[in-house]
Amino acid sequence: MIFKLLVCAALVFILIGMAGIYLRRSRDR
């Protein structure tokens, strides 16, 4: 159960990171 929570948290952080990078690139251009 704890492992599942860690995996979900990691996926959420990765999605947020990817979204942030995408927004930064679009703003630079």
The pLDDT, as a whole number, for residue 10 is 98
The pLDDT, as a whole number, for residue 28 is 77
Q: Which residues of the chain have pLDDT under 70?
A: none
Give the predicted TM-score (pTM) of the model.
0.61
* CA–CA gap between residue 13 and residue 22 (Å, rounded): 14
The amino acid present at 27, given as its one-letter code, is R
The CA-based dihedral angle spanning residues 5, 6, 10, 11, taken in that order and rounded to the nearest 10 degrees? -30
* CA–CA gap between residue 26 and residue 4 (Å, rounded): 33
